[in-house]
Amino acid sequence: MPKLFFTAYKKYFYTMGRNNDKNIKAYNDKLHKAQDKAKAKKIAREELRKAIMKKFNEGKSSQ
C-alpha cells in the first residue's frame, strides 16, 4: 500500500474517529446547515415554478 493511503487514513482516524461531543456537534451542525440549504433551494424552485405557471395561465386565458 502506498504511504499516502496510510497518511490519509491516519488523518481521518484521528480527526473523526473519536466520537466525542465536539466532533459530533460539528458534524451535526454541518449536516443541518446542508439540509437547510437544500430545503431553501427546493422552496425557491417551487415559488419560481408557481410564478411561471401563473404568468403562463394568465397569458393563456387572455388569448
Phi/psi for 20 (5° steps) reads -95, 170
pTM flag (> 0.85): no
pLDDT tens-place string over residues 3-41: 555 555 555 555 555 678 888 888 889 999 999 999 999
Interatomic CA distance for residues 35 and 11, integer angstroms: 26
